[in-house]
Chain A
Amino acid sequence: MALMNVDLGGLSMKNPVTVASGTFAAGREYADFVDVAKLGAVTTKGVSLNGWEGNPGVRIAETPSGILNSIGLQNPGVEHLKEHDLPWLSGQGATVIVNVSGHSVQEYVSVIEALEESPVGAYEINISCPNVDAGGMAMGCSCASVEEVVGRCRTATERPLIVKLTPNVTDVTEIARAAEASGADALSLINTLLGMAVDIRTRRSVFSRVVGGLSGPAVRPVALRMVWQCSGAVSIPLLGMGGIATAEDAISFMLAGATAVAVGTANFANPHAAADVVDGIQAWCEEEGVEDVNELIGGLIC
């Protein structure tokens, strides 16, 4: 059996596979399909301080080999997560990454503060959601705002801090370096690519906010390229995601420099996808004589 455990910036994961925030709720909806304790970690849906209603109108559109979404971070707030979801995850034996969202720097900090006594393995700071007007991607596009929010979150916790980056920037490595310099322990990438779909009959965008976030296999090459770029730009570990549906996809991200990977949109097509990727990496390592999955990280030959 190949060794499968990895260390993601201080978060010990039993294998390098988690799920992408927003695609797995807090795990309970998938409990009939996946033993959440089998995953390296469960990353929960973005949570804000007092909850958000999310966006009105159509929230999803299928696009070639992907989906556009405009959910808008609908969530019931951090107290609900603490009372209902974290105890359940803890009871299942899951390692938990909580995706933290906010409309302001203070809200990110307040969410972290609210969670400091709860069973959480790491925080993933969501400065990359394209579907909200304040916070989210608006904070992840300039080095100055990244430094501010990451710096403030850093002073709020000693726990591993993962910063989730948007691909919707000119140079992702600049943002990656800013996050690292401000105290990030790891980086997640990528969040969704900004996209759009038009209903030609109504001459309107499909979405109320006009734009949406593209995910799924369609974005995988872009995500892979950005993971590879960032692996050369920072020394903290990377959590790679973007269209990963199979063990082969996951391994390619690890070779490009990811320490761990997240399965996202693939969960919608195959509810066992995350567990299948864990099994598939294990099987591949055994076939290839890889004794420790850590050997794969950054193993790309250029």
Chain B
Amino acid sequence: MGLEDMQARVHANKQLFENLWLMELECPSVAANIMPGQFVHLEVPDLQANILRRPFSIFDRDEDAGTVEVLYQAVGTGTRAMRTWEPGLVTRMIGCIGRPWEVPYDTERALLVGGGVGAAPLNLLCQELMASDVGVDVILGAQTEGALVCRARYERTCGREPACSTDDGTYGREGFATVLVEEALARAQAEGRPYDYAAVCGPEPLMRAASQLLMEAGVRCQVSLERRMACGVGACLSCVVDTASGKKRACVDGPIFDAEEVLWR
């Protein structure tokens, strides 16, 4: 599937918690073709001083309605400007970019670990795994209860609540999500149904620690990496990631990488 630069119309844009926002955009081609883990490169119009597009993973899609959802954290000039977008605003996005999650065909049980907005690119994967009858366990971590904005969506997808942790202990286990990863590994082992595959997305220290635990337990693990990006199509070599086989582009050689090939920063 080739890349396209498409029009995208804002349908809804709402604040979920503090700087966490959810935007619904109409873009039928992306809604139809996005594969879990891929991303779009979104133009932020009318920012004269900020000329680059911004990369966002797709949190959810409605193929019949031709819409996709983007979960974003308003942290810089671009994402702060996006908070002001009203329904009807038309922008452009390039899609669908990058290597998707690659779940081995014989996977029977998978573990998904999302930290903060890192929960977003795992949701479509969760849906796909559930649809193909793979056993899925989900772990979500966030700073505080209110920031666990994906919890309800995962509960709907999985039919049960994901295991949660918060840094401040306001919801679920207090501390980092890695504690829950260790517990999940032990439980799966005890049940005699170990994980065949794990997908991790979140802050890099979390991805590094969680993937290490998972790989030590013999689980094939993939991570979704992010780097400062310019072109988003593989040309500029801005977003390179150090891997065991040299520098790779986060945009088109990733964003999904096998954890074992990543040389962490």
Do A and B actually bind?
yes
Tell me the A residues contacting B by CB distance below 8 Å. 22-25, 29-30, 32-33, 45, 53-54, 56, 58-62, 64-67, 69, 71, 74, 216-217, 265-272
CB proximity of B226 to chain A, nearest CB, Å:
13
CB distance from A198 to the nearest CB of B (A): 16
B residues in contact with A32, CB < 8 Å: 2-4, 233
Report how far A37 CA is from B1 CA in the complex, Å.
Answer: 22
Interface, chain B (partner A; CB < 8 A): 2-5, 43, 48-53, 77, 94, 228-240, 242, 246-247, 252
Q: A29-B231, A33-B3 are in contact. Are A54 and B237 (CB under 8 A)?
A: yes
Given A54-B240, A74-B237 in contact, is the A67-B52 Cβ separation under 8 Å? yes
Given contacts A24-B235, A272-B5, contact A60 B94 (CB under 8 A): no
The chain A residue with its CB closest to the CB of B3 is A32
CB contacts (< 8 Å) of B4 on chain A: these are 32
Contact yes or no, A59 B234, CB < 8 A: no
In the complex, the chain A residue whose C-beta lies closest to that of B48 is A65
Shortest distance between the CB of B47 and any CB in chain A (Å) = 10
User: CA–CA, A64 to B5, complex, Å?
Assistant: 24
A61–B51 CB distance below 8 A: no
Q: Could you give 17 example pairs across A and B, Cβ below 8 Å?
A: A23-B231, A30-B235, A32-B3, A45-B237, A53-B246, A54-B240, A60-B236, A62-B50, A62-B77, A67-B230, A265-B51, A266-B51, A267-B235, A268-B236, A269-B52, A271-B94, A272-B5
A216 CB, min distance to chain B CBs, angstroms: 6
A67 with B51: in contact, given A23-B235, A25-B234, A271-B233 (CB under 8 Å)?
yes
Contacts of A217 in B (CB 8 A): 51
A274 to B52, CA, bound (A): 16
Contacts of B5 in A (CB 8 A): 33, 270-272
Contacts of B53 in A (CB 8 A): 268-269
Quote the shortest CB–CB distance from B45 to chain A (angstroms).
10
Q: Within 8 Å CB of A71, what residues of B?
A: 236-238
Output the nearest chain B residue to A65 by Cβ-Cβ distance.
B49
Can you name the residue of chain A whose Cβ is closest to the Cβ of B228? Answer: A60
Complex alpha-carbon distance, A216 and B238, angstroms: 15
Q: How far is the CA of A59 from the CA of B235 in the complex (A)?
A: 13
Query: Shortest beta-carbon distance, A276 to chain B, in Å?
Result: 11
From residue B85, how far is it (CB to closest CB) to chain A in Å?
A: 18
Known contacts A53-B246, A65-B51; 16 further A-B pairs (Cβ under 8 A): A23-B231, A29-B252, A32-B4, A33-B3, A59-B228, A59-B238, A59-B240, A60-B229, A60-B236, A60-B238, A62-B77, A65-B48, A265-B51, A268-B53, A269-B52, A271-B5
Listed residue (A24, A33, A62, A69) with the most chain B CB atoms within 10 angstroms of its CB: A62
State A269–B50 Cα separation when bound (angstroms). 10
User: Which residues of the partner chain B approach A30 to less than 8 Å between Cβ atoms?
Assistant: 233, 235
A33-B3, A53-B247 in contact; A62/B52 too (CB < 8 A)?
yes
In the complex, what's the smallest C-beta–C-beta distance from A121 to chain B, in angstroms?
Answer: 20
**Which residues of A lie under 8 Å from residue B77 when comparing CB positions?**
62
Rounded to whole Å, the gap between the CB of A45 and the closest CB of chain B is 8
**Chain A contacts for B228, CB-based, 8 A:** 58-61
Q: How far apart are A249's CB and chain B's nearest CB, in angstroms?
A: 13
A216 lies within 8 A of B51 (CB):
yes
Q: Closest residue of chain A to B2, judged by CB?
A: A32
Of B52, B234, B246, the most chain A CB neighbours within 10 A belong to B52
Give min CB distance, A55 to chain B, whole Å: 9
Contact with A60, one of B2, B49, B230, B247 (Cβ below 8 angstroms): B230
CA distance A267 to B234 in the complex (A): 12
User: Which residues of chain A have C-beta atoms less than 8 A from B51's C-beta?
Assistant: 62, 65-67, 216-217, 265-266, 268-269
A216 to B52, CA, bound (A): 10
A269 and B236 contact, Cβ closer than 8 Å, known pairs A53-B247, A61-B228, A67-B230: no
- Residues of B near A268 (CB, < 8 A) are 51-53, 230-232, 236
A26: nearest chain-B partner, CB-CB: B235
Complex alpha-carbon distance, A32 and B2, angstroms:
6
Q: Sorted from nearest, which 6 A-B pairs have the closest CB atoms? A: A60-B238, A25-B235, A29-B235, A32-B2, A32-B3, A29-B234
How far apart are the CA atoms of A267 and B233 in the complex, in Å? 10
CA distance A64 to B94 in the complex (A): 23
Q: How far is the CB of B98 from chain A (nearest CB, A)?
A: 13
- Report how far A269 CA is from B52 CA in the complex, Å: 5
Contacts of B252 in A (CB 8 A): 29
B237 touches A269 (CB 8 A): no
Taking the closest CB of chain B, its distance from the CB of A173, in whole angstroms, is 30
Give A60 Cβ to nearest chain B Cβ, in Å.
Answer: 4
Rounded to whole Å, the gap between the CB of B165 and the closest CB of chain A is: 27
| Nearest CB of A to B244, in Å | 14
Name the residue among A58, A66, A271 with the largest chain B CB count within 10 angstroms: A271
CA of A272 to CA of B2, assembled, Å: 15
